[in-house]
Structure 1
C-alpha cells in the first residue's frame, strides 16, 4: 500500500456509516464536511512542499538582523552576465609611464626667440646610441626651457643610417601631434652639415627662409628652424635648399 492508499484509508475511517433510512440533509452536510477536510489536507500538503522548497533555496543564508545605519544590508550574490567575448581577448591594462629626465645637451642650447608664456623654444644637440649604426652619435632635440633654466624634451630627430656628419641635409623634424595644452606646437626644424649661410624651403609654390644657428661644438653643423608665422608646424615642405655665402647652391 502506498502513501496515497494510506491517505484514502484514513479518510474512510473518519466517515461514519449511514442508516438504511437515508437522511438527505445529513448526507449533504457530511459530504460538505468531507470535501472541506480534503481541501484542507491538499492545502497543507502544498504548504509543506512550498516550505521544503523555500528551505532548499535558503541553505547557506545567514540572518544578521535588520540593516542599521552602521551596518548596511548585505547584497545578494549575483552571477555576472556573459560578455560574449573571451577574457583572454580583453585589452591589457596599460602600465604607468615612467618619467624620463631631459637629455643632457652637448654644447650650447640655441634660443629660437619663440616664446610660450614664460617658456622658450630651444634646440640642442644630444647624444644618441644606435648600435647598428655606429657613425650616428648625435641627434637634434626641439625642447623648451623655463625661466629657471629647466629643460623639457619635445621632439628628437636623428639619422638612422650613414653618418651624422655627412655633408648636406639630415633628418627634418615635423610636429605630427594633435595640439594640446600639455605641449605647444613644435616648428619645423633640422640641421645641415656644410658652409650654409641661407636655407630656403618651398611650400605651395612659395619660398620660406629658415632661421640659422651654428653648433658651437662643431660649426659645420648648422641648426635651422622655420618660424610658425611663416610655416605652420606640421606642414610638409615641397623642397629645401642651402646656399653658401656667395649664394651658390650647396
Structure 2
C-alpha cells in the first residue's frame, strides 16, 4: 500500500452516516504524515499529496444545501367598508339592529334568513350611516350576521338603488348561501331584476324607521345566490319606472 492509498484509507475511516461529512483533523494529520515521507522522495510527491488534501477540503467546505425558507406570518389588515362584503360568522351583539328585523321565510334547518339595518361609520362620508345586513336568527333568538352591504360615498338616503349584496364566490363560499339583496329609497311597489334575459321579481319589505326605504331580496329558488344581475328596475304603484 503506497502513501496515497493510506490517505484514502484515512478518509474512508472518518466517514459518518452522511458521506459528505469528513473528519478534517484526521485527514490533514494523515496528509502531513504522507507529505513528510514524500519530502524524502522529492518535490513531485509533495505536490501530489497537496492536490489530494486540497481536493478533500474543497469538497467538505463547499456550498451546503440551502436552508428551507420560512414563510412570513400573514400581515394584519385594517377593516374596510366595501360596498358589499361578507362578514365573519359572528354574533351581532356589537351591531344591534336599527329598526325592526325583517323575516324572509327562508330557512336553514332551525335558522331563518333575516335582514336588518345597522349603524356604520365612514369618517370621510358623514352621510353614510347605515348598512344592510343579511343575517340569520336561531331558534333561541340569537342573531348572526353573514353579509353587510353599505354605500361608500354620497348619501345612504338618496333616491334610487343602493348597495346590492351578492353571495360570496370564491375558494371559501358563504355558508349558508346568501340570496341577492339590497335596498331602494323611494315609493317602490315592485322591483324586477334581469339575468340571462329572464326577469325575476324581488320580495319587498319597508324599513320600520323610514317607509321610503324598501328592503328587497330575491328568492334563491328563482335566482341562484351569487348570480349577477344584468339589470334591475323599480316601479311605483302605477307601474312607472322610478
Measured against the shorter chain, the TM-score band is 0.5 to 0.7
- 1:11-68 CA-to-partner distances (Å, cap 9, x unmatched) read xxxxxxxxxxxxxxxxxxxxxxxxxxxxxxxx9xx99xx89x99x79xxxxxxxxxxx
CA contact (8 A) 2:89 2:145 kept: no
Matches within 5 A, 1:3-152: 82-83=66-67, 85=69, 90-92=71-73, 101-102=91-92, 103-152=95-144
Whole-Å Cα distance in 2 between the matches of residues 181 and 249 of structure 1?
35
Q: In proportion to residue count, which structure has more strand?
A: 2
What number of residue pairs does the alignment pair up?
180
CA contact (8 A) 1:172 1:190 kept: yes
Deviation at 1:94, TM superposition (A): 6.9
CA contact (8 A) 1:179 1:185 kept: no
Structural RMSD (CA): 3.2
Whole-Å Cα distance in 2 between the matches of residues 153 and 81 of structure 1?
50
C-alpha change, 1:182 and 1:207, in structure 2 (3 Å) is closer
Of the two, which has the highest radius of gyration?
Answer: 1
C-alpha change, 1:93 and 1:243, in structure 2 (3 Å) is closer
Q: TM-score w.r.t. structure 1 length?
A: 0.63
Match of 1:67 in 2: none
Q: TM-score w.r.t. structure 2 length?
A: 0.65
Match of 2:161 in 1: 169
Match of 1:224 in 2: 216
Task: Name stretches of at least 5 consecutive residues in structure 2 with no aligned partner.
Answer: 1-5, 15-21, 27-63, 77-87
